[in-house]
Amino acid sequence: MSKKYFGTDGIRGRVNGEMMNAETALRLGMAAGQYFRCGEHRHRVVIGKDTRLSGYMIEPALVAGFTSMGMDVFLFGPIPTPAVAFLARSLRADLGVMISASHNAFEDNGIKLFGPDGFKLSDAIEQKIEQLMDAPADDLVPSAELGRAKRIDDSQARYIEFAKRTFPKDLTLEGIKLVIDCANGAAYKVAPTALWELGAEVISMGVAPNGININKGCGSTDTAALAERVRETRADIGIALDGDADRLIICDENGTVIDGDQIMGLVARDWQARELLSAPGIVATVMSNLGLERHLQDNGLSLARTQVGDRYVVEHMRQHGFNLGGEQSGHMVMSDFSTTGDGLIAALQVLAVMKKTDKPVSDLCRVFTPVPQILENVRFSSGAPLEHADVKAIIAACEVKLGNQGRLLIRKSGTEPLIRVMAEGDDAALVQQLVSEIVDTIQTVAA
């Protein structure tokens, strides 16, 4: 059964549009509150958010929905998504909520839900909540049983201490100069503070949010300014988070960008050598580079692939006993520490390897040679371009041309009105040709 509101990462859309508005947030709060209100204990929900202006609209709408169902609400303010997952468990909440559209521009916003175990909700639970959202609100509590809301002042400090405990106790970051770009987002306070307290010389960027500059010219999706600052300051490493700090991209000392595949490869080999892998391999998505898969195989490790979305990576990890997974885009899931992607914790793992090996990032993070891979996004306004006969025909023709020399992946984004066209293979010219042919056809159909 397809879902009406939820995508691959919660509910997301243009603010005050058809999907992401105050009414949706209110109905979601009521429906989720109704679903999770079971047992005789006093029910509680924790809510965090990033720095988007629209958070001021969505947060009180959610609070109204939850309190109308008799749930007490703890408000954290700006805090990373993984902090919400952690604090939902730490504070024994029935539900964790993060208001964020992650890497999207400020005009978008979203709502992510975590269960009491700190994991994102399953498709089945999301579908049940959707059914309640569209049903009449007939389960409101009596006046005397309404929930209360209060702000929690020490939530950031709690998360900082939690993140610091994931760094090896016998190491410090003294002697490392780093640039941290917080994307003017949720980690603008906690990430620089944690790194400084561990001993690093910290140069901060993207730490002046104004409600509309989140991810704008900064963060993990736009690393040009970070790379330039790394070169200017002669820093050892650049660290880029996205708007809700659940993903990580880094730059080496030369300003060269290093993606999630290389980071996963580095951590996998380090954990393999230290016998920390709970299974002989890692979990990634269909977007991860074929070069990573070949590298892992050469070292006796497997690469299990899932559909795009860190929630699906986590589900596979839990089902099959893996403790390391992630996405090329920078989500890093290290289940020994966290239940979801955590950019800061992933950065600390890379920094730990730097300190132990005393190698520059340019050497350390060139784990494998990537197979030529090209990804282009095609924006569309309506309809279903992938269902058009011309698009189906060109995809089939390109698959024949590529044969068994690479991979072709075309999919609709779960968070934006985009068609993502990806091809990879040993023949770079052929890969570019195939992507261009498919993109041109989709653009013609979608015009």
Residues in Cβ contact with 332 at an 8 Å cutoff, skipping those fewer than 6 apart: 247, 248, 260, 263, 264, 267, 326, 341, 342, 343, 345, 346, 349
Residue pair 150/74 in contact by the 8 Å Cβ criterion: yes
Residue pair 180/192 in contact by the 8 Å Cβ criterion: yes
The end-to-end CA distance of the chain, in Å, is: 30
Q: What is the DSSP letter of 15?
A: B
CA distances for 95 relative to 22, 64, 91, 131, 211, angstroms: 20, 15, 10, 18, 26
Geometric angle at alpha carbon 112, from 323 and 183, rounded to 5°: 85
Sheet architecture: strand order including 248-251: 201-205, 177-181, 237-241, 248-251, 257-258
102 is catalytic: yes
- The candidate with the shortest Cα–Cα distance to 312, out of 88, 120, 158, is 120
Report residue 379: phi and psi, to 5°: -85, 140
DSSP lists the bridge partners of residue 46 as 74, 96
Q: Is 423 helix (H, G, I), strand (E, B) or coil?
A: strand
CA distances for 402 relative to 269, 399, 424, 426, angstroms: 31, 5, 9, 10
Q: State the Cα–Cα distance between residues 332 and 264, nearest whole angstrom.
A: 7
Residue 54 is which amino acid? S
Q: State the Cα–Cα distance between residues 293 and 289, nearest whole angstrom.
A: 7
Of the residues 102, 204, 288, 335, only one is catalytic, namely 102
With 0-12 CB in 10 A as exposed, 13-18 as middle and 19+ as buried, what is 117?
exposed
Q: State the Cα–Cα distance between residues 130 and 314, nearest whole angstrom.
A: 22
Residues in Cβ contact with 238 at an 8 Å cutoff, skipping those fewer than 6 apart: 178, 179, 180, 181, 223, 226, 227, 229, 230, 250, 251, 252, 255
Tell me how far the alpha carbon of residue 361 is from its chain's centroid: 23
Catalytic residues: 102
